[in-house]
Amino acid sequence: MPPKRGRGRGRPRGTVPVSSGSRARDEPEIGSNSAPNMEDNQNLQDELKQQIREEVQQEFAAREELLRQELMDIRRRLDERPAVLLGPPAIGVREEQIRRQEIRRVIPEGGVTMFNFLKLGLPEFHGEDGEDPGEFAEQIEKVVKRLPCSDAWAIELVGLLLKGNAWTWFKDHIEGLIYNDAPIDWEQFRQKLTIEFLSTGERENRMMKFERLQQRGSSVAEYAKEFQNLCKYAKVIVPTEEAKINRFRRGLTAHLYSTLAAGRYTSLSELIDTAKQIEMKYKEERKKRDQRQK
């Protein structure tokens, strides 16, 4: 039987009465510290952002200083490199260095400095086995052709990307041509680079591959890409623009060749664009025929 509750029954021993006032003091007030906490969090975020910003600035400054030091070293090497004389040494080495420095000052730079050129992050070339000089030249040419400067200055800049065997070759065989009375142009430099670092056997292999090249089952765009890639190694076969046009047309599929055989084209790019348009029209007509048959 449960015990009775009444006036005579007191509190259990050891308990202390809790007043409403003390209870209110013990329980934290909701929202009393929310504003300071939010302010502290905001301050912490601002400090972290500032710290990250400072670290990024320090990293950028360090990289810029490293690049500046590398540029200074390159300039020092350019000034100290030995002279390459194409004719009899009529003047001394020191006089030749001074002459080159004077010529370098008047070469049209177009506002393209060595420092800005190195910041582009272009690939380097060492002239070692496994490296393709044609591929390197093609990648660099995309930038060089758009630089507002002379070919001589562009070749000087590209020389900064050459390392090891390639840099030695550049010093010994190219620098003298840059400062000659008739400076070497970009196409001549590219051809010399390919001849020097692409073996004779590989050049002959690519030339034979060009001779056998046909469109067959590939698209006009795919055929044109391979044609232009191999064409660089077949100057003997296609020495002129007209020869390139005739060779490209002979490699097309039968229906494209018959359509384009009687046409006259002033450039290879014009022929390629026309072939692409005819190919697209042919595919659309074939698609319509297939739909009608269904």
What is the full DSSP assignment across 125-156?
A: B---TT--HHHHHHHHHHHHTTSSS-HHHHHH
Domain match, 100 and 149 both: yes
Domain match, 110 and 170 both: yes
Q: Is the CB of residue 197 less than 8 Å from the CB of residue 127?
A: yes
Token output for 80:
């100290």
Domain match, 192 and 250 both: no
CA distance 181 to 174: 14
The residue from 156, 183, 198 where one domain ends is 198
Residue 84 lies in a domain: no
Domain match, 156 and 234 both: no
Q: Is the CB of residue 124 less than 8 Å from the CB of residue 211?
A: no
CA distance 114 to 236: 36
Single-letter amino acid, residue 60? F
From residue 40, give the alpha-carbon distance in Å to each of 51, 54, 257: 16, 21, 77
238: containing domain: 223-286
Token output for 174:
């190219």
Residue 16 lies in a domain: no
Q: Is the CB of residue 293 less than 8 Å from the CB of residue 234?
A: no
Domain count, the chain: 2
Residues 6+ apart with CB under 8 A from 91: 99
Domain match, 231 and 189 both: no
Residues β-bridged to residue 162: 125
CA distance 31 to 130: 70
Residues β-bridged to residue 125: 162
Residue 144 lies in a domain: yes
Domain match, 193 and 227 both: no
Residue 5 lies in a domain: no
Domain match, 120 and 187 both: yes
Residue 41 lies in a domain: no
Domain match, 274 and 233 both: yes
Domain match, 172 and 228 both: no
Residue 113 lies in a domain: yes
Residues 6+ apart with CB under 8 A from 79: 97, 101
pLDDT tens track for 95-124: 655 555 555 554 556 678 888 888 889 999
Residue 44 lies in a domain: no
Domain match, 99 and 190 both: yes
CA distance 109 to 104: 9
Q: What is the pLDDT of residue 215?
A: 95
Domain match, 262 and 229 both: yes
Cα–Cα–Cα angle for 224, 230, 231, nearest 5°? 80
DSSP conformational letter for 162: B
Q: What is the pLDDT of residue 287?
A: 86
CA distance 230 to 65: 42
Which residues of the chain fall below pLDDT 50? 1, 6-8, 12, 14-16, 18-32, 83-90, 106
Neighbours of 141 (CB within 10 A): 15
Q: Is the CB of residue 227 less than 8 Å from the CB of residue 251?
A: yes
Cα–Cα–Cα angle for 164, 165, 168, nearest 5°? 90
CA 284 to chain CA mean position, Å:
37
Residue 145 lies in a domain: yes
Q: What is the pLDDT of residue 293?
A: 80
Q: What is the pLDDT of residue 95?
A: 63
From residue 179, give the alpha-carbon distance in Å to each of 123, 151, 185: 25, 12, 11
The residue from 182, 198, 214 where one domain ends is 198
Domain match, 183 and 103 both: yes
The residue from 183, 198, 213 where one domain ends is 198
